[in-house]
Amino acid sequence: MIVGVHPLAGFDKLLHYRVPESLRGSVAVGTLVRVPIVNALKLGIVGEIGAPKDFPVERLKSLAQVVYPFPALPPDLLGLARWMARYYACGLDSIIETMIPVAVRRGAGLKQEKLLVLAQKLPSDELAALEKRAPQQARLYRFLEQQFRPQAKALVLARLGQTAAVVNALVKRGVLREESRRIERIAYADDHAAGELVAAQPHAPNAEQQAAMDAIAASLAEAKFGVSLLHGVTGSGKTEVYLRAIDAALKLGGGVVFLVPEVALTPQTVARLRSRLEAIAQGQRCVVWHSHLSEGERLDGWLALATGEARVVVGARSAVFAPVQNLKLIVVDEEHEPAYKQDETPRYHGRDVAVMRAKLAGAHALLGSATPSLESFTNVEAGKYRLLQLTQRVDARKLPYIDVVDLRIEAAKQRGLPALSGKLVRAMQDRLERREQTILFINRRGYSSSMLCRSCGHVEECTHCSIALTYHRTDETLRCHLCGDQKPAPARCPKCAAPDIRWKGLGTQRIEESVRRVVPRARIERMDTDTMAKKNRFREVLSAFRAGKIDVLVGTQMIGKGLDFPNVTLVGLIDADMSMHIPDFRANERTFQLLVQVAGRAGRGDRAGEVIVQTFTPQAEAIQFSRHADFAGFAASELKVRRDFHYPPYRHLIHHLFRGPNPDKLKFFAEQWAKLVEKTLGDRVELRGPSPSPIEKIKDEYRWQLWYFTTAVTKVVPELAKLRAEFAWPDDLTQVIDVDPVNLM
Ligand code: ADP
Ligand code: ZN
């Protein structure tokens, strides 16, 4: 028996090995093995059984070890890895490494724990005798007898200050038995904070929910690949639909992947989801998967899925690679979220990969959002996806009214740049009187973002990164958010020495201060990446807010996701322009999504909600369409622009970044390369650039970029990869290809 193995050893090749007699039974495609490479043993994944014809098999080395007696990559995942390598132009090894957690790759086994189990109950006379002859043994016996369940050996011995000899003696007598069990570390298992996102008890579905559930159940029963896009307004009960779909898939004996954006994985959500899912899965374990798991936790979850012990995983982006067996359903909640795109190699999009995995596994993909991505929406229009709609909020609650405040008028009235308009201030005071809560959203962190001189217009930039520095008030510094460089904030303009420099833009700290001035009695809390750096702080603030101990919550988008606070009746968006006037063709789409999602946070209880949006450009379409959450209207208008300018979803974009210490050399090679691509692929791609990147320098490295626009991405990317491999790049130049990039800055 010969197998081809993809080694995880820093290169991308298929190597062949002979399988010794004793291992033949446990080797299949997808098995994690150890193989000799040069003089060391390396991990690898079996990619094929057999060898090409006329292969010189005599000189082959032997496979050394099988790590697990089951495939580490089920066939659909191995197929997915191969597809990703082609589609995203990256090495198969880097993808396999992403798919298999570090602890698993190290070949870690199951963590065992010894339990002490009482094998028989001693009659009182025997116990009395034991008491005399061996008091330590009697003591151990009595301790165990008082416990409800078997106890961990290590804990018991530590607690009683005894040695293993005492245990051994009792085992010899037949009084005690030792058992092994796998240790399970359950993430968030001890968290009982109340959360309303997922009701503990299922709701009776309304007519629209029922229709959606029926459609999905029918697709699942067909047992073939398909995609549904669930477009449901905020508060329409999409989660309930997901849970019923999961229920249906499990009843058919299948496995399920449930993806949510990382930020939505708050302990409350996880606890609720988990208990509902475990109820649905009839006591089977639901694996939770996100970036804060310890290696041990991840290994446990991975093993439970790979061995079929658990069939449901809920997690962030990378959970799309969980080794779920017999996959029947993948749910992608908030499918429009940019966070699904990974911004380091391999640069994959979790939603797109989810759809491809569903295809390879013959499963159903259910994508859901209140503001679907235009990519998914055009797939509906093209007949590739089926559209399911929830047009009403549950219990026919009204969508909140969005009031747009024109900051140009406000600025004239209040003389200067106001953080809070008169309208927003009155609305907050009003909420305080009614004992209702307010959330204020702001788009960036810090006291204010950049420093602008009113006299000469100078903006202080990072000397390494050519981006504006951010003012941090707590320690009076200017900091670079890219390389971390910092220096004291100047009192006068460094360029013209004018004393009246001012801070442009509005950060969370400044909003917090303004709020303190206008509603001095209010209890205010700020929530952004700076204040939430401390572990558990996020949870604490959220539970305090939920418990009504906070009146006004000021924060970045991180408080917007997946949270449901019935007593919030006012939501303010401080600066809608922040996301709208950046050099990204998706800026309008992001702004529309932000507004609709933010508005969806208001009025989830019995009382109607009010949303106040402050902006210098109130006439913008993203703002106007969001006032009535008019997704169809927005999509129609925005898609016209996209078509006119050949942007996605009409064409694919590929970003090519070149970086290195010498800007002239970068320019030269980028231009040579562009010429070559033009000559070879010119009829299939449109090139834009090369040109310096928007951020020209990071950590003393210069950056140039080149854009490709194409309709034939699956053909063009492999050709680019091939050309790139043959091109004579200088040693000090690094280049990165990003297919379907999400962040254009
Ligand atoms: P969405 O994700 O669409 O914004 P959610 O799934 O968060 O909406 O549901 C909003 C609220 O409505 C939740 O508190 C949920 O428990 C509740 N809910 C869902 N379905 C029903 C129903 N059929 N009847 C009553 N309440 C429901
Ligand atoms: Zn910097």
pLDDT category at 184 given cuts 50, 70, 90 is very low
pLDDT at 200: 59
Instruction: Name the residue of 240, 334, 371, 563 whose CB sits within 8 Å of the most ligand 1 atoms, as the mutation to test its pocket.
Output: 240
CA distances, 611 to each of 510, 624, 664 (Å): 21, 13, 51
Which of helix, strand or coil describes residue 328? strand
Asked if CATH classification 3.40.1440.60 holds for the domain at 2-105, the reply, yes or no, is yes
- What is the rounded average pLDDT for all residues in the chain? 84
Q: Which numbered ligand comes closest to the C-alpha of 563? A: 1
Beta-ladder partners of 151 = 116
| Mean pLDDT confidence for 574-589 | 71
| Mean pLDDT confidence for 439-448 | 63
Q: Which numbered ligand comes closest to the C-alpha of 331? A: 1
pLDDT of 183 strictly over 50: no
* Closest protein CA for atom 16 of ligand 1: 199
* Closest protein CA for atom 17 of ligand 1: 237
Instruction: Name the residue of 394, 398, 568, 601 whose CB sits within 8 Å of the most ligand 1 atoms, as the mutation to test its pocket.
Output: 394
For residue 465, report the distance from its CA to the centre of ligand 2, in Å: 4
Is the CB of residue 676 less than 8 Å from the CB of residue 723?
Answer: yes
What is the C-alpha separation between 735 and 670, in angstroms, rounded? 10
pLDDT category at 189 given cuts 50, 70, 90 is very low
For residue 479, report the distance from its CA to the centre of ligand 2, in Å: 8
Write down the pTM of the prediction. 0.79
pLDDT at 387: 97
Ligand 1: atom nearest CA of 390 is 3
What is the C-alpha separation between 441 and 453, in angstroms, rounded? 26
What is the Cα 124 distance to its own chain's centre?
59
Q: Which of 123-137, 346-360, 372-386 has the lowest mean pLDDT?
A: 123-137
Q: Which of 279-283, 437-441, 447-451 has the lowest mean pLDDT?
A: 447-451
Say which DSSP state 649 is in. T
* pLDDT tens, residue by residue, 541-568: 888 888 899 999 988 766 655 566 778 8
pLDDT at 616: 74
Query: Does 210 contact ligand 1 (Cβ within 6 A)?
Result: no
| Mean pLDDT confidence for 48-72 | 84
Q: Which numbered ligand comes closest to the C-alpha of 699? A: 2
Instruction: Name the residue of 229, 239, 268, 273 whose CB sits within 8 Å of the most ligand 1 atoms, as the mutation to test its pocket.
Output: 239
Query: Does 196 contact ligand 1 (Cβ within 6 A)?
Result: yes
For residue 273, report the distance from its CA to the centre of ligand 1, in Å: 13
For residue 450, report the distance from its CA to the centre of ligand 2, in Å: 13
Query: Does 235 contact ligand 1 (Cβ within 6 A)?
Result: yes
Which of helix, strand or coil describes residue 517? helix
pLDDT of 689 strictly over 70: yes
* Closest protein CA for atom 23 of ligand 1: 205
CATH of domain 401-448+505-636: 3.40.50.300
What is the C-alpha separation between 485 and 440, in angstroms, rounded? 30
For residue 462, report the distance from its CA to the centre of ligand 2, in Å: 5
pLDDT of 80 strictly over 60: yes
For residue 695, report the distance from its CA to the centre of ligand 2, in Å: 10
Which of helix, strand or coil describes residue 257? strand
pLDDT category at 584 given cuts 50, 70, 90 is low
Q: Which strands, in side-by-side order, build the sheet including 226-232?
A: 286-289, 312-315, 255-259, 327-333, 364-369, 226-232, 386-390
Could you tell me the residue ranges of all domains in the chain?
A: 2-105, 112-182, 190-396, 401-448+505-636, 652-739
pLDDT at 190: 36
* pLDDT tens, residue by residue, 633-680: 999 999 998 898 888 999 999 999 999 999 999 999 999 999 999 999
For residue 364, report the distance from its CA to the centre of ligand 1, in Å: 23
Helix intervals (H) in 519-576: 537-546
Query: Does 203 contact ligand 1 (Cβ within 6 A)?
Result: yes
* Closest protein CA for atom 9 of ligand 1: 237
pLDDT category at 369 given cuts 50, 70, 90 is very high
Q: Which of 14-23, 330-339, 410-419 has the lowest mean pLDDT?
A: 410-419
pLDDT at 195: 38
Query: Does 202 contact ligand 1 (Cβ within 6 A)?
Result: no
- Domain 190-396: give its CATH architecture: 3-Layer(aba) Sandwich (3.40)
For residue 122, report the distance from its CA to the centre of ligand 1, in Å: 55
H/E segment holding residue 360: helix 350-361
Q: Which numbered ligand comes closest to the C-alpha of 390? A: 1
* Closest protein CA for atom 13 of ligand 1: 197
For residue 394, report the distance from its CA to the centre of ligand 1, in Å: 6
The token pair that represents 590 in the structure block: 């992001």
For residue 481, report the distance from its CA to the centre of ligand 2, in Å: 7
Is the CB of residue 401 less than 8 Å from the CB of residue 610?
Answer: yes
For residue 673, report the distance from its CA to the centre of ligand 2, in Å: 28
| Mean pLDDT confidence for 567-581 | 77
* pLDDT tens, residue by residue, 517-538: 889 999 998 876 666 666 667 7
pLDDT category at 390 given cuts 50, 70, 90 is very high
* Closest protein CA for atom 12 of ligand 1: 237
pLDDT category at 452 given cuts 50, 70, 90 is low
* Residue among 467, 739, 745, 442 nearest 614 (CA): 442
648-664 burial code (b ≥16 CB/10 A, e <16): bbebbbbbbbbbbeeee
* Residue among 127, 633, 77 nearest 359 (CA): 77
pLDDT at 99: 93
Query: Does 333 contact ligand 1 (Cβ within 6 A)?
Result: no
For residue 234, report the distance from its CA to the centre of ligand 1, in Å: 9
pLDDT at 681: 92
Residue predicted with more confidence, 186 or 15? 15
Please spell the DSSP secondary structure of 260-317, one letter per residue: --GGG--HHHHHHHHHHHHHHTTT--EEEE-TT--HHHHHHHHHHHHTTS--EEEESG
Fold equal for 190-396 and 401-448+505-636: yes
* pLDDT tens, residue by residue, 213-247: 999 999 999 989 999 999 999 889 999 999 999 99
pLDDT of 745 strictly over 70: no
Fold of 652-739: Alpha-Beta Plaits (3.30.70)
| Mean pLDDT confidence for 506-520 | 78
Q: Which numbered ligand comes closest to the C-alpha of 198? A: 1
Is the CB of residue 262 less than 8 Å from the CB of residue 341?
Answer: no
